[in-house]
Amino acid sequence: MSALTDRLAGSLWLDYTAYAGRLLAGGSVPWLDVDAASGWMRKAQSLLKSDVAVLPAAAVVSAWLNTHAELTAAMAAKSRAVFALKTLLADEPLRAHLAELARVLRAGLPKLPLLLAIPSPKLWVVQAHAQAHGGNAVEVDADTVDSAAAYIADFLRVFADSGLDGLVLEETAASEPAGADDLALYQPLFNVAAHYRWDVGLRLPGEGRYGYEGAAGLAFALGARVLPGLVTGVAVPSGYWSGGDVPARAEGGFRYAEIPAEANPESVLERLAALR
């Protein structure tokens, strides 16, 4: 095991963005203000005490595009599937903002593992194209995923001195790689992560449909079931927050829990205590 997966074993990883965004930020996390975002996360950590801190790049990008129409327009200049993502990731002000945000979060939460969460190459192509083209869908083939992975790998180098411990690739049912062969298209990302000694994990939708045992470069997974060969953060079912049973923890793994935005603050701390 690596240093990060050793630290994850037996831990409780909380995704509190929606919940703490409502509770502590009026429903809108101030991602575009580095100091305010860091202050919000420190307050959330003080209240909820996740064993892991995560910078969600997709949320920051969405907020950025809402106030930078010129970038959205540049992303829409060509209809080629990967063009919007390529243009997005090359934007120097956005890159600088995300890197600075990571550095400030690292300084503000020095004792916690800090991970960057990004959409997987296929998912990020789809999201960026939709952001540029008014929500329109796009077909993504293996060559497009391969190109996207190269652009994302270049983008990740801006975090070289940010103090990250790991990288989380977020998947949906439509983007999830169909086994280790499809996952191999992510190799440029794994190469960059290995260079900076970051562990890489997949956040899988629901039960997930595939296995990745023996996949080079992958250290852990987040999902509703244990994946053989990987340290797994078993997702806490949404029903837990309204009185469901405490779920089992995978042997050698950890728990992953997303607190619903609408969760009752009076019961959240009690439910969290039971998970620990």
* pLDDT bucket at 176, cuts 50 / 70 / 90: very high
CB 230 within 8 A of CB 219: yes
In this prediction, residues 164-187 reach a mean pLDDT of 94
pLDDT at 1 over 80: no
CATH of 3-275, one of 3.30.460.10, 1.10.730.10, 3.20.20.210, 3.40.190.10: 3.20.20.210
**What percentage of the chain carries pLDDT values higher than 70?**
99
Phi, psi at 115, each rounded to 5°: -120, 150
Residue 237 is given by DSSP the state P
In this prediction, residues 223-232 reach a mean pLDDT of 86
pLDDT at 2 over 80: no
Nearest of 95, 146, 106, 123 to residue 203 by alpha carbon: 123
Query: Could you report the per-residue pLDDT of 27-41, keeping only the tens digit for each?
Result: 999 999 999 999 999
Query: Could you report the per-residue pLDDT of 144-171, keeping only the tens digit for each?
Result: 999 999 999 999 999 999 999 999 999 9
CB 161 within 8 A of CB 103: yes
Domain ranges of the chain: 3-275
> What distances in angstroms separate CA 209 from CA 110, 225, 226, one per listed residue?
36, 10, 12
Write down the pLDDT at residue 143.
97
Q: Pick the residue with more confidence: 33 or 251?
A: 33
* DSSP H or E segment with residue 198: none
Query: Could you report the per-residue pLDDT of 119-138, keeping only the tens digit for each?
Result: 999 999 999 999 999 999 99
Nearest of 13, 56, 6, 1 to residue 234 by alpha carbon: 13
pLDDT at 256 over 70: yes
Give the lowest-confidence range in 50-54, 111-115, 165-169, 210-214: 210-214
- What is the bridge-based pairing of β-strands 220-223 and 231-235? parallel
Write down the pLDDT at residue 245.
86
Residue 108, classed as helix, strand or coil, is helix
* pLDDT bucket at 13, cuts 50 / 70 / 90: very high
